[in-house]
């Protein structure tokens, strides 16, 4: 199996969570979100190295929380937006064949999701994962429906997203030069005209974003304990 390096951005604010501290420190059970996320990659034998982006004043705390995580090679100061944080890390890592990018705020990524990505990235160079939306989707103009979207043509996109290292570097350089504003990493690859492959994720692979997500997280953990 291929080997990869993972970049985990954790330098956000978590403003939609409405806590007075960064949401990645919220404990789920006993364990902070960010440690749960990092442990998913500690447990994957194909992951060689883990790098994080952290807020300047939180880097010390991150090191403490991640004590004993032997694959963590560096925690680099993040930037204004998620993409800036990841770019800072890209400039600091050892070159690798493949780089995965995974939100610090997605602690429930499954082994199967990682396996799909690892199998696909040597072939496709840029691979994202996602799930089929369960709701009917409409395109709207203000509060008026314009059309019903064909659900077979859409996917709700998660992380990890997996890339050939050189391709991801070019995509980030191009995005920076052209000041592209993006919401995920694959958008930058799309901007180069390179096609992006999609593999399955799981509905449990939520991003901890708002208060409601903490209840969902608890029920995912209860399910895991059977």
Ligand X SMILES: O=P(O)(O)OC[C@@H](O)[C@@H](O)[C@@H](O)CO
Ligand Y SMILES: Nc1ccn([C@@H]2O[C@H](COP(=O)(O)OP(=O)(O)OP(=O)(O)O)[C@@H](O)[C@H]2O)c(=O)n1
Among 7, 14, 36, 167, binds ligand Y (CB under 6 A): 14
Give 111-115 contacts, CB < 8 A, sequence gap 24+.
111/44, 112/200, 112/202, 113/158, 113/160, 113/199, 113/200, 113/201, 113/202, 113/205, 114/40, 114/44, 114/46, 114/160
In this chain, which stretch among 110-118, 132-140, 154-162, 167-175 interacts with ligand X, using CB under 6 A? 154-162
Cα distance between residue 29 and residue 92, in whole Å: 33
From the list ligand Y, ligand X, none, partner contacted by residue 158 (C-beta under 5 to 8 A by kind): ligand X
From the list ligand X, ligand Y, none, partner contacted by residue 218 (C-beta under 5 to 8 A by kind): none
Min dist CB 12 to ligand Y, Å, is 2
Min dist CB 108 to ligand X, Å, is 13
Among 158, 160, 165, 220, binds ligand X (CB under 6 A): 158
Cα distance between residue 103 and residue 8, in whole Å: 6
Asked if residue 184 binds ligand X (CB under 6 A), the reply is yes
Binding site for ligand Y (CB under 6 A): 9-16, 24, 53, 78-82, 85, 103-105, 207, 209
């Amino acid at each position: 199996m291929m080997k990869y390096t993972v970049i985990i951005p954790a330098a956000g604010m978590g403003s939609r969570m409405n806590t007075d501290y960064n949401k990645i420190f919220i404990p789920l059970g006993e364990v902070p979100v960010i440690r749960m996320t990092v442990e998913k990659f500690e447990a994957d034998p194909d992951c060689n190295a883990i790098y994080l982006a952290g807020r300047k004043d939180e880097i010390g705390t991150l090191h403490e929380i991640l004590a004993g995580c032997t694959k963590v090679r560096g925690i680099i100061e993040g930037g204004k937006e998620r993409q800036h944080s990841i770019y800072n890390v890209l400039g600091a890592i050892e070159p690798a064949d493949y780089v995965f990018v995974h939100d610090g705020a997605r602690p429930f990524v499954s082994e199967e999701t990682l396996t799909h990505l690892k199998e696909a990235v040597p072939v496709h160079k840029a691979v994202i994962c996602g799930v089929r939306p369960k709701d009917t989707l409409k395109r709207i103009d203000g509060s008026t429906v314009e059309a019903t979207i064909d659900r077979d043509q859409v996917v709700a996109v998660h992380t990890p997203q997996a890339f050939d290292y050189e391709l991801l570097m070019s995509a980030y350089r191009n995005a920076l030069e052209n000041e592209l504003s993006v919401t995920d990493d694959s958008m930058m690859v799309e901007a180069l005209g390179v096609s992006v492959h999609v593999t399955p994720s799981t509905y449990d692979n939520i991003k901890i974003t708002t208060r409601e997500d903490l209840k969902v997280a608890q029920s995912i953990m209860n399910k895991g304990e059977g």
